[in-house]
Amino acid sequence: MAEAGCLKVWLDRDGALLRLRLARPKANICDAAMIAALHAALDAHRGQRGLRGVLLDAEGPHFSFGASVEEHLADRCAGMLASLHALILAMAGYPVPILVAVRGQCLGGGLEIALAGGPIFAHPDAAFGQPEMKLGVFAPAASCLLPWRVSAVVAEDLLWSGRSLTGREAHAVGLVGALADDPEAAALATFDEHLAAKSAAALACAVEAVRAPRLRELRERLAEVERLYLDRLMKTHDANEGLAAFLAKRPPNWEHR
Protein backbone atom coordinates (compact mmCIF):
# COMPACT_ATOMS: atom_id res chain seq x y z
CA MET A 1 0.00 0.00 0.00
CA ALA A 2 1.29 3.44 -0.94
CA GLU A 3 0.37 6.61 0.94
CA ALA A 4 0.50 10.17 -0.35
CA GLY A 5 -0.12 11.71 3.07
CA CYS A 6 -3.81 12.23 2.39
CA LEU A 7 -4.56 9.25 0.14
CA LYS A 8 -4.01 5.49 0.47
CA VAL A 9 -3.44 3.62 -2.77
CA TRP A 10 -3.21 -0.13 -3.35
CA LEU A 11 -4.13 -2.88 -5.77
CA ASP A 12 -6.71 -5.50 -4.83
CA ARG A 13 -8.15 -8.61 -6.45
CA ASP A 14 -4.77 -9.67 -7.94
CA GLY A 15 -4.33 -6.29 -9.60
CA ALA A 16 -7.79 -6.13 -11.12
CA LEU A 17 -9.05 -3.41 -8.77
CA LEU A 18 -7.34 -0.14 -7.89
CA ARG A 19 -8.22 1.01 -4.38
CA LEU A 20 -8.15 4.73 -3.52
CA ARG A 21 -9.00 5.83 0.01
CA LEU A 22 -9.26 9.44 1.17
CA ALA A 23 -7.19 9.35 4.33
CA ARG A 24 -7.47 12.62 6.18
CA PRO A 25 -10.49 12.12 8.45
CA LYS A 26 -12.79 13.31 9.64
CA ALA A 27 -13.29 15.98 6.99
CA ASN A 28 -11.25 14.47 4.11
CA ILE A 29 -11.09 17.94 2.58
CA CYS A 30 -10.52 17.84 -1.18
CA ASP A 31 -7.80 20.48 -1.24
CA ALA A 32 -4.90 20.88 -3.68
CA ALA A 33 -2.92 18.06 -2.07
CA MET A 34 -5.83 15.61 -2.17
CA ILE A 35 -6.70 16.51 -5.75
CA ALA A 36 -3.08 16.09 -6.85
CA ALA A 37 -2.77 12.74 -5.06
CA LEU A 38 -5.95 11.38 -6.66
CA HIS A 39 -4.88 12.54 -10.11
CA ALA A 40 -1.40 11.07 -9.72
CA ALA A 41 -2.72 7.70 -8.53
CA LEU A 42 -5.14 7.44 -11.44
CA ASP A 43 -2.46 8.44 -13.94
CA ALA A 44 0.01 5.93 -12.50
CA HIS A 45 -2.38 3.02 -13.07
CA ARG A 46 -4.02 4.13 -16.29
CA GLY A 47 -3.51 1.54 -18.96
CA GLN A 48 -2.39 -1.11 -16.48
CA ARG A 49 -2.96 -4.49 -18.03
CA GLY A 50 -5.84 -6.37 -16.45
CA LEU A 51 -7.31 -3.43 -14.52
CA ARG A 52 -11.11 -3.73 -14.46
CA GLY A 53 -12.19 -1.18 -11.89
CA VAL A 54 -11.41 1.45 -9.27
CA LEU A 55 -12.98 1.73 -5.82
CA LEU A 56 -12.87 5.15 -4.18
CA ASP A 57 -13.83 5.34 -0.50
CA ALA A 58 -12.76 7.19 2.63
CA GLU A 59 -11.44 6.72 6.15
CA GLY A 60 -13.46 7.99 9.07
CA PRO A 61 -17.15 8.75 9.48
CA HIS A 62 -17.43 11.05 6.44
CA PHE A 63 -16.55 10.77 2.77
CA SER A 64 -15.66 14.45 2.40
CA PHE A 65 -16.82 17.84 3.65
CA GLY A 66 -15.80 19.27 0.26
CA ALA A 67 -13.13 21.54 -1.10
CA SER A 68 -10.95 23.92 0.87
CA VAL A 69 -12.78 27.22 1.37
CA GLU A 70 -9.44 29.03 1.63
CA GLU A 71 -8.61 27.82 -1.88
CA HIS A 72 -11.88 29.35 -3.14
CA LEU A 73 -10.70 32.87 -2.31
CA ALA A 74 -10.24 35.23 -5.26
CA ASP A 75 -6.44 35.01 -5.37
CA ARG A 76 -6.39 31.20 -5.37
CA CYS A 77 -9.59 29.95 -7.00
CA ALA A 78 -8.31 29.88 -10.60
CA GLY A 79 -5.67 27.30 -9.74
CA MET A 80 -8.09 25.33 -7.57
CA LEU A 81 -10.72 25.12 -10.32
CA ALA A 82 -8.18 24.18 -12.97
CA SER A 83 -6.79 21.28 -10.93
CA LEU A 84 -10.19 20.03 -9.76
CA HIS A 85 -11.65 20.13 -13.24
CA ALA A 86 -8.60 18.33 -14.68
CA LEU A 87 -9.16 15.56 -12.11
CA ILE A 88 -12.86 15.36 -12.95
CA LEU A 89 -12.10 15.05 -16.67
CA ALA A 90 -9.53 12.33 -15.91
CA MET A 91 -12.10 10.43 -13.84
CA ALA A 92 -14.92 10.86 -16.36
CA GLY A 93 -12.64 9.58 -19.12
CA TYR A 94 -11.00 6.78 -17.14
CA PRO A 95 -10.95 3.46 -19.05
CA VAL A 96 -12.58 1.41 -16.26
CA PRO A 97 -15.58 2.03 -13.99
CA ILE A 98 -14.83 4.02 -10.82
CA LEU A 99 -17.04 2.73 -8.02
CA VAL A 100 -17.58 5.15 -5.13
CA ALA A 101 -18.53 4.14 -1.57
CA VAL A 102 -19.93 6.89 0.65
CA ARG A 103 -20.58 7.14 4.37
CA GLY A 104 -21.52 10.30 6.25
CA GLN A 105 -21.20 13.68 4.58
CA CYS A 106 -20.43 13.90 0.87
CA LEU A 107 -20.54 17.60 0.11
CA GLY A 108 -19.32 20.24 -2.31
CA GLY A 109 -16.12 19.28 -4.10
CA GLY A 110 -16.33 15.84 -2.49
CA LEU A 111 -19.66 15.21 -4.21
CA GLU A 112 -18.31 16.58 -7.48
CA ILE A 113 -15.49 14.01 -7.35
CA ALA A 114 -17.98 11.25 -6.51
CA LEU A 115 -20.17 12.32 -9.44
CA ALA A 116 -17.19 12.13 -11.82
CA GLY A 117 -16.95 8.43 -10.96
CA GLY A 118 -19.91 6.23 -10.30
CA PRO A 119 -21.90 4.24 -9.58
CA ILE A 120 -22.23 5.49 -6.00
CA PHE A 121 -22.89 3.05 -3.15
CA ALA A 122 -24.07 4.82 0.00
CA HIS A 123 -25.12 4.28 3.58
CA PRO A 124 -28.83 5.12 3.98
CA ASP A 125 -27.95 7.90 6.43
CA ALA A 126 -25.24 9.49 4.28
CA ALA A 127 -25.74 13.11 3.20
CA PHE A 128 -25.25 14.49 -0.31
CA GLY A 129 -25.27 18.19 -1.09
CA GLN A 130 -23.77 21.16 -2.89
CA PRO A 131 -23.80 23.86 -0.18
CA GLU A 132 -21.80 26.41 -2.20
CA MET A 133 -24.77 28.76 -2.56
CA LYS A 134 -24.76 29.28 1.20
CA LEU A 135 -21.31 30.86 0.73
CA GLY A 136 -22.39 33.11 -2.14
CA VAL A 137 -20.80 30.96 -4.86
CA PHE A 138 -21.97 28.09 -7.06
CA ALA A 139 -20.69 24.58 -7.85
CA PRO A 140 -19.17 24.63 -11.35
CA ALA A 141 -18.47 20.91 -11.87
CA ALA A 142 -21.71 19.79 -10.22
CA SER A 143 -23.60 22.14 -12.55
CA CYS A 144 -22.32 19.95 -15.38
CA LEU A 145 -22.39 16.54 -13.67
CA LEU A 146 -25.63 16.50 -11.69
CA PRO A 147 -27.91 16.72 -14.78
CA TRP A 148 -26.31 13.46 -16.00
CA ARG A 149 -27.50 11.65 -12.88
CA VAL A 150 -30.80 13.20 -11.88
CA SER A 151 -33.64 15.18 -13.42
CA ALA A 152 -33.20 18.86 -14.17
CA VAL A 153 -35.67 19.66 -11.38
CA VAL A 154 -33.63 17.79 -8.77
CA ALA A 155 -30.30 19.13 -10.07
CA GLU A 156 -31.51 22.73 -9.95
CA ASP A 157 -32.97 22.24 -6.46
CA LEU A 158 -29.67 20.96 -5.09
CA LEU A 159 -27.55 23.55 -6.89
CA TRP A 160 -29.71 26.55 -6.02
CA SER A 161 -30.88 25.68 -2.50
CA GLY A 162 -27.65 24.22 -1.14
CA ARG A 163 -29.65 21.63 0.80
CA SER A 164 -28.60 18.03 1.34
CA LEU A 165 -30.31 14.73 0.59
CA THR A 166 -30.03 11.66 2.77
CA GLY A 167 -28.72 8.47 1.21
CA ARG A 168 -32.28 7.19 0.97
CA GLU A 169 -33.46 10.37 -0.75
CA ALA A 170 -30.46 10.37 -3.08
CA HIS A 171 -31.21 6.78 -4.05
CA ALA A 172 -34.85 7.60 -4.74
CA VAL A 173 -33.89 10.33 -7.25
CA GLY A 174 -31.16 8.25 -8.92
CA LEU A 175 -28.12 10.05 -7.54
CA VAL A 176 -27.08 6.93 -5.61
CA GLY A 177 -27.00 3.57 -7.34
CA ALA A 178 -27.33 1.32 -4.30
CA LEU A 179 -27.89 1.60 -0.55
CA ALA A 180 -26.01 -0.57 1.94
CA ASP A 181 -25.09 -0.47 5.60
CA ASP A 182 -21.56 -1.32 4.41
CA PRO A 183 -21.15 0.53 1.11
CA GLU A 184 -17.54 -0.56 0.62
CA ALA A 185 -18.53 -4.23 0.88
CA ALA A 186 -21.44 -3.64 -1.50
CA ALA A 187 -19.13 -2.02 -4.05
CA LEU A 188 -16.66 -4.89 -3.76
CA ALA A 189 -19.45 -7.43 -4.20
CA THR A 190 -20.62 -5.62 -7.33
CA PHE A 191 -17.09 -5.63 -8.72
CA ASP A 192 -16.67 -9.33 -7.97
CA GLU A 193 -20.01 -10.29 -9.51
CA HIS A 194 -20.19 -8.02 -12.54
CA LEU A 195 -16.71 -6.77 -13.50
CA ALA A 196 -13.98 -9.13 -12.28
CA ALA A 197 -14.60 -11.80 -14.93
CA LYS A 198 -14.74 -9.35 -17.84
CA SER A 199 -12.05 -8.65 -20.41
CA ALA A 200 -10.24 -5.45 -19.47
CA ALA A 201 -9.79 -4.65 -23.17
CA ALA A 202 -13.50 -5.04 -23.92
CA LEU A 203 -14.46 -3.13 -20.79
CA ALA A 204 -12.26 -0.17 -21.76
CA CYS A 205 -13.95 -0.02 -25.16
CA ALA A 206 -17.41 -0.29 -23.57
CA VAL A 207 -16.65 2.54 -21.14
CA GLU A 208 -15.38 4.75 -23.96
CA ALA A 209 -18.39 3.93 -26.14
CA VAL A 210 -20.79 5.14 -23.45
CA ARG A 211 -18.83 8.11 -22.19
CA ALA A 212 -17.13 9.65 -25.22
CA PRO A 213 -20.03 12.00 -26.11
CA ARG A 214 -20.45 13.02 -22.48
CA LEU A 215 -16.72 13.60 -22.12
CA ARG A 216 -16.66 15.95 -25.11
CA GLU A 217 -19.62 17.86 -23.68
CA LEU A 218 -18.11 17.91 -20.19
CA ARG A 219 -14.82 19.38 -21.42
CA GLU A 220 -16.68 22.21 -23.15
CA ARG A 221 -19.11 22.84 -20.29
CA LEU A 222 -16.39 22.89 -17.61
CA ALA A 223 -14.55 25.57 -19.57
CA GLU A 224 -17.75 27.62 -19.79
CA VAL A 225 -18.64 27.43 -16.11
CA GLU A 226 -15.04 28.07 -15.10
CA ARG A 227 -15.10 31.33 -17.06
CA LEU A 228 -18.44 32.26 -15.51
CA TYR A 229 -17.07 31.59 -12.03
CA LEU A 230 -13.82 33.51 -12.49
CA ASP A 231 -14.90 36.36 -14.77
CA ARG A 232 -18.28 37.19 -13.24
CA LEU A 233 -18.97 35.51 -9.92
CA MET A 234 -15.65 36.25 -8.24
CA LYS A 235 -15.94 39.91 -9.19
CA THR A 236 -19.14 40.27 -7.15
CA HIS A 237 -19.24 41.60 -3.62
CA ASP A 238 -21.37 38.73 -2.35
CA ALA A 239 -19.07 35.92 -3.46
CA ASN A 240 -16.13 37.42 -1.62
CA GLU A 241 -18.30 38.35 1.37
CA GLY A 242 -19.75 34.85 1.67
CA LEU A 243 -16.34 33.18 1.69
CA ALA A 244 -14.93 35.71 4.15
CA ALA A 245 -17.94 35.31 6.45
CA PHE A 246 -17.57 31.53 6.46
CA LEU A 247 -13.91 31.73 7.39
CA ALA A 248 -14.70 34.31 10.09
CA LYS A 249 -17.59 32.15 11.36
CA ARG A 250 -20.12 34.96 11.07
CA PRO A 251 -23.34 35.47 9.07
CA PRO A 252 -22.78 36.96 5.60
CA ASN A 253 -23.95 40.47 4.80
CA TRP A 254 -25.38 40.16 1.30
CA GLU A 255 -25.53 43.33 -0.82
CA HIS A 256 -26.92 41.50 -3.87
CA ARG A 257 -24.19 42.77 -6.13
Check whether 5 has a pLDDT greater than 90.
no
Q: What is the pLDDT of residues 140-165, one digit of tens each?
A: 999 999 999 999 999 999 999 999 99
Contact 131, 164 (CB under 8 A): yes
Specify the pLDDT at position 129. 98
Over the chain, what is the mean pLDDT? Answer: 97
Q: Is 80 exceeded by the pLDDT of residue 3?
A: no
Residues 48-79: pLDDT tens digits?
Answer: 999 999 999 999 999 999 999 999 999 999 99
The stretch 201-206 carries a mean pLDDT of 97
Q: Looking at residue 85, what is its pLDDT?
A: 98
Count CB-CB contacts under 10 A for residue 24: 19
**Tens digit of each residue's pLDDT (9 = 90 or more) over 71-110:** 999 999 999 999 999 999 999 999 999 999 999 999 999 9
Cβ atoms of residues 197 and 191 within 8 Å: no
Question: Is the per-residue pLDDT at 20 higher than 80?
Answer: yes
- Region 170-174: mean pLDDT is 98
Confidence category of residue 2, pLDDT binned at 50, 70, 90: confident
Q: Which CATH code is given to the segment(s) 2-183?
A: 3.90.226.10
pLDDT tens digit sequence for 223-236: 999 999 999 999 99
**What confidence tier does 118 reach under pLDDT thresholds 50, 70, 90?**
confident
Burial 202-230 (b: 16+ CB within 10 A, else e): ebbeebeeeeeeeeeebeebbeebbeebb
> Where along the chain do its domains lie?
2-183
